Structure 1
Amino acid sequence: MAEFEIETCRGVDQGSSSTSAPASTTTKNTLEVRVDAHTEPKPPKRRIGKVPLTMRRDEKTKGYFDPKVVSIGPYHHGKEELQMAERIKPILAEFFISGSGRDVDEFRKNVLEIVDEARSYYLEGSTNMYSDEEFAEMMLLDGFLVAAFIESKTPGYKNPKILFALETQLGQHDRFLLTSDILCLLENQIPFQVLELLMSLKSKHHKLTEMLDNVFHSILSRESTRQDKRIDDTKQPIHLLEYLWLWQNKSNRTRETSTRRIWDKFYSFKSVAELKAKGIYARRGSDFGQRDFKLKSFFFFFAVLEIPPIVLNPHYVIHISNQIAYEWMPNNPTNLPRMAYVNFMKSLINTVEDVKELRARDILFTPCMSDQEVVQIFNSIPTFLMEDFSIYDEVKQKIQRHYNNKAKTWFAELIHNYFCSPWTFIAFVAAATLIILSFLQTFFTIFPHK
C-alpha cells in the first residue's frame, strides 16, 4: 500500500478575502481617493467561498453547511469529529492509483506543480498554516477520495474494491452521508483543476466532465437520455458543487426579461390544497427537471398543474441549502434559480394537507418522515425574496388567471364542496330533491290540478 503522512491540523473557522481597491489618503477630517482613469478595475478572482454568516447564524439552518463524515479542503480540515474518515483516504488512494501505471510520487509531483494555483482558489489566509508540501498532500488525499467516489458512481467505471472499502470502512450510514459531504457542501470542496489533473493522470479515458455528467444523470435527474444536460464547456467551474449547479440549472430556452410592474411579479395563489379547491389539481409531471412545471386546462373549469416529483431525504435539504448559499456567493453571476424553485415549492406546501395531496398524487416521496416534518423542512430552507421572477413566470401567470376567473372558480368550488365524495354527492342530491318536491307541493297547492 502506498504510504501517506496524515497530519492533524487546526481547522479554519473563518476566511477573509481582499480585492484591489483605489489608493487613498486620509487627513484629519477628509478622505481622499485617487483613481487612475486609464486602468479598468479587474474583477476579483473567484474563489471557493464560505457560507454567509447571516445564513450560518440562523438556528433553522444549523448543521446544513458542515460535513458529517469527511473534510475536503482546508476549511474543515483537522476537525476532531471528522478524524475517523481520515483512515480511508490512503486506502482509496491506493485503489484509485492501481491500474494507472503510475506511482503515488508521480501524482504528488504533479500536484505540487500547481500548488500555488490551488491555494489561490481559497480565501486569503485560510491556507497560511500549511507549507506547500502539507497543502499538496491535503489536495492529493482529498482529491483521491473525491475522484474515487466519482469513479465508484460512474456507470462503466465502477471499481468493486472502492465500493467495498467505502462500505467496510465507513459503514452504511456514513457511506450514505458521504454523498452530501462531497457533492453538496459549499465549504467542503477542492479546486476542479485538481480533480481534472488526477483523473487525467489515472487514464486518458477518465474524462472528469463526462464522468460527472453520467453520475449526475444517474443519481439526480432520472430524465430521458434524449435530453442533453451537459454544461457549456466554455464555462470552467472552480469546484464540484459549481459544476453540479451549472448542470442542474442549464436552460436551453432564452428567457426575455420581464418589464412588468414590480407588483405583477407576485401572485396571490397559495398551496396545493387551495388550488385544488379552485379546480387546479396536482399531477406528477413526466419530466424531472426542476423547471418543468406545466399547467394544462381541460373543459371549462378544470386544470392540472404538473409538478416534477421529489424524493425528500436527509440529503435533500442539505443539498438545496448549500446550492442557495453558492448562489449568494460574491462574483457568482447567477439569477438564483434554486432559490426560485424553493420559493415556488414553499408557496405550494404550506400545511400537512398539501403534503398529503402531493403524496397521494405520487409527486412527493418522504421515506421515514411525517407530513408535519416535511412542512417544517421546507420552512427551514433559507430563502429570501430575491430571485429571477421570470423563471416560473409563465406557469404562475396561467395559475393566477385561472385563480382569478370567478366563473371557473365558482363552478370548481361547487364540484369540490358537493361532489368530492359519494356522501356529499348523495347529500346534495337529497337536498336538491327535497327542494324540488317542496316547490312542486307548493305549486300544486296554489294551483290544484283540475
Structure 2
Amino acid sequence: MQKVIFLLREPVDDFRKYYEPKVVSLGPIHHGNPKYQLGENYKLPLTYEFIEGSGKNVEDVYNMIKEKIYELRTCFKEEVTKKYDDEALTSIMIVDSCAILQYIYCATNNNKFKELNIKTDSVAFGQQNLFLLENQLPYCLLTWLMSSSVKKEEISKSIETYIDLHVKAPADQQSNWLSWRLCQRSKPQEAQSAKEESHDEKKPEDCTISKATEPVHLLDHLRTRMLHGPMYIHDGKIKFTKQFLFRGQLHLPPIVVDVSTRPKFLNLIAYEMCLDFENDFGVTSYISFLDSLINEAKDVKMLTKAQILHNFLGSDEVAKLFNEIGTDLVPNIEIYRDVRSQIQKHYKRKWLTLIAQVFHDHFSSPWTFIAFFGALLALALTITQTWYAVNSPPGPCDNFCKNLTLK
C-alpha cells in the first residue's frame, strides 16, 4: 500500500481532492488527521458491532492481529508505517478493518446503518472512501478477521455483493451495442496509440504476503471485477461488427456514470500506475478508449440513448469528465487494437459511413423505415400510373372514337 504517485498529484491540483478521503481515513496514511475525526466516531460503533457479532472478544482479536503485525507492516511502503510502533499499528489495523467489514455487511443487508445512528450522507461519502488508493488495507487482514467470525460466509458474500454493485449495470442491459456513427468524430487512431509496452497481468493471492508480492485489497478486487467479472471491459467484450445495409455496430458493456465515477476511475488508474505493480493497464486503456469516443455532449447523449451510459449527471459534465480523466493517459496499445483497426477501416470507406449516418439519423426506428418504404412505393405507383396515362399505345376504343369524330 502506498500513496498516489507524484505524476498524478502535481500537474492537476483539482484532481488531488479525488485521491484524499472526504469523511473517513482507513489505514495508516491519513490516520490522525483532525478533519477525519467524525469518521473516527463512526468507526468505533462499527468495530464494536463486528467484534460482538463475530463471537470473539476484543482481547482475542487484538492478540491475533498483534501476532501478524510484522507481516502486515511489510504490506505498506516503509515511509507509511515508520511513525507507528507495533501497538499503535495493531490498533489502527483492527479498528479500520473491522469497521470496513461491518460497513459492507450493513450496506448489503437491508441497510442497517440506522441501527447504528449513521446518517445517509456519511454512508455515501464512506462508500467513495473505500475505493481510494490511499485508504486501502491488506485483504488478508480482512480474511483473517472473517475467518475468526461465526458469520464468515455471510460477511464474505457481502463483499462480493458490494463490489458487484459498483461494477454492474442493470441486469437486463448487460450486452449493448451502438450503431456506428461516432467514428466520424472520433480522434484518429494514431493519437490514441501509446508508447507503453504490454505487461502480463499478475494474479495476486488473497493471503500471500511478502515484500515482492503486492497484497490484494478492495481496490484490486474492484479492478479485477471490472476487467474479468460482470462488467468485463477487456476487448473480448468490446468489439466492432459489420451489419446489414453498410452499418457498423460497436459493442460496449453498459456503465453507470454518477458522482462516484471520477474518484473511482482516477484511483484505479493511480493503482495501475504504482511503480511496483505489474499489470496490463486494463482500466487505463478502457478509459482512454471511452475518451476517444466522447468528445462532446451529443456523443454522451448517443451513448445514453443506446443504454451504454446510464447517466446520472449532465451530458456536458460527463463529456468533460472523460475528457479530463483521459488526458495524458498511457494505455496498453495491445488492448482494443483490433477494435480500433476495424473502426478506422470503416471510417475510411466514406461512402459507407455516409449511408450509415443517413440510416442512423432517419431510419433508426423500424416504423420510420416502413413509413418511408410505403411512401416510396406510393410515389412509384403514382409515377407509373401517370406515365401510362400519357404514353399508353392507342387501343380499339381510341380508333372508334377517332372515327366518330371524323364523321
| TM bucket normalised to smaller | 0.7 to 0.9
SS at match of 1:305: strand
Q: 2:266 aligns with which of 321, 327, 332?
A: 321
User: In the alignment, which residue of structure 2 is the partner of 1:333?
Assistant: 278
Q: Partners in 1 of 2:329 and 2:204 — Cα distance?
A: 31
Other structure's SS at 1:334 match: coil
Measure how far apart 1:405 and its partner are: 1.8
The 5-angstrom pairing of residues 10-159 of structure 1 reads 48-57=1-10, 58-154=12-108, 158=109
CA distances 1:138-160 after superposition (whole Å, capped 9, x unpaired): 11100111111232244xxx386
What TM-score do the two structures reach when normalised by structure 2? 0.73
Q: Does 2:355 align with 1:411?
A: yes
What's the offset of the Cα at 1:413?
A: 4.9
Q: Deviations over 1:206-253 (max 9, x none)?
A: 48765433332244235879x9xxx967465432212322332238xx
In structure 2, the CA distance between the partners of 1:358 and 1:133, relative to structure 1 (3 Å rule), is same
Could you tell me which residue of structure 1 aligns to residue 243 of structure 2? 298
Alpha carbons of 1:403 and 1:121: their partners in 2 closer, same or farther (altered >3 Å)?
same
Write out aligned runs for 1:3-402 (5 A): 48-57=1-10, 58-154=12-108, 158=109, 162-165=112-115, 168-169=117-118, 171-182=119-130, 184-203=131-150, 205-206=152-153, 211-222=158-169, 234=205, 236=208, 237-250=215-228, 288-291=231-234, 292-367=237-312, 369-381=313-325, 383-402=327-346
**For 2:297 and 2:107, how far apart are their aligned partners in 1?**
35
| Residues 195, 420 of structure 1: alpha-carbon distance in 2 compared, 3 angstrom cutoff | closer
**Matched-pair contact (CA < 8 Å) for 2:47–2:99:** yes
Largest Rg, 1 or 2: 2
Structure 2: which 5+ runs fail to align? 175-201, 209-214, 388-407
What is the rounded CA distance, in whole Å, between the counterparts of 1:418 and 1:242 in structure 2? 45
Higher helix share: 2
Cα distance in 2 for partners of 1:419, 1:92 equals 56
Inter-CA distance 165–326: structure 2 relative to 1 (3 Å threshold) = farther
What do residues 32-85 of structure 1 show as CA deviations (whole Å, max 9, x unaligned)? xxxxxxxxxxxxxxxx01101121111341311001110001111111211011
Conserved? CA contact 1:151–1:159, under 8 Å: no
Q: Structure 1 residues 177, 99: closer, same or farther in 2, change over 3 A?
A: closer
Q: Distance in 1 between matches of 2:80 and 2:204?
A: 30
Give the aligned CA root-mean-square deviation in angstroms: 3.3
CA change 1:382–1:119 in 2 (3 A) is farther
Q: In the alignment, residue 53 of structure 1 is paired with which amino acid?
A: F
Provide the C-alpha distance between the structure 1 equivalents of 2:256 and 2:48, rounded to a whole number of angstroms. 35
C-alpha distance 353-360 of structure 1, shift in aligned 2 (>3 A): same
Q: Structure 1: how far apart are the matches of 2:52 and 2:114?
A: 15
Q: CA deviation at 1:91?
A: 0.7
Percent identical: 31
Q: Are the structure 2 counterparts of residues 245 and 411 from structure 1 closer, same or farther at C-alpha, using a change threshold of 3 Å? A: closer
In structure 2, give the amino acid aligned to 1:380: E
Instruction: Indicate conservation of the 8 Å contact 2:168/2:231, yes or no.
Output: yes
How big is each residue's C-alpha offset from its partner over 1:398-421, in whole Å with a ceiling of 9 and x where there is no partner?
Answer: 222211123412433555688789
Greater relative CO (CA pairs within 8 A, separation 6+):
2
Indicate the residue corresponding to 1:23 in structure 2. none
Provide the rounded CA distance (Å) in 1 between the counterparts of 2:83 and 2:276.
26
How many angstroms apart in 2 are the aligned matches of 1:340 and 1:190?
26
The answer to which of 287-296 and 115-124 deviates more is: 287-296
Q: How far apart, in 1, do the equivalents of 2:29 and 2:349 lie?
A: 54
Instruction: Give per-residue Cα distances to partners, 1:321-354, cap 9 Å, x unaligned.
Output: 0000000001211010101000011011101111
Relative to structure 1, the CA distance from residue 234 to residue 193 in structure 2 (aligned partners, 3 Å threshold; closer, same or farther) is closer
In 2: Cα distance, 1:410 partner to 1:97 partner = 65
Cα gap change, 1:249 to 1:223, in 2 (>3 Å):
farther
Q: How far off is 1:189 after superposition?
A: 1.2
Q: CA deviation at 1:364?
A: 1.9
Q: Verify the 8 A CA contact 2:53 2:151 in the aligned structure 1.
A: no
The CA distance in 2 between the partners of 1:366 and 1:159, in whole Å, is 25
Give the TM-score normalised by the residue count of structure 1.
0.67
Aligned residues: 337
The 2-side partners of 1:323 and 1:246 are apart by 10
Distance 1:134 1:159, change over 3 A: farther
User: 3-state SS of the aligned residue for 1:296?
Assistant: strand
Give the Cα–Cα distance (whole angstroms) in 2 for the partners of residues 417 and 92 of structure 1: 54
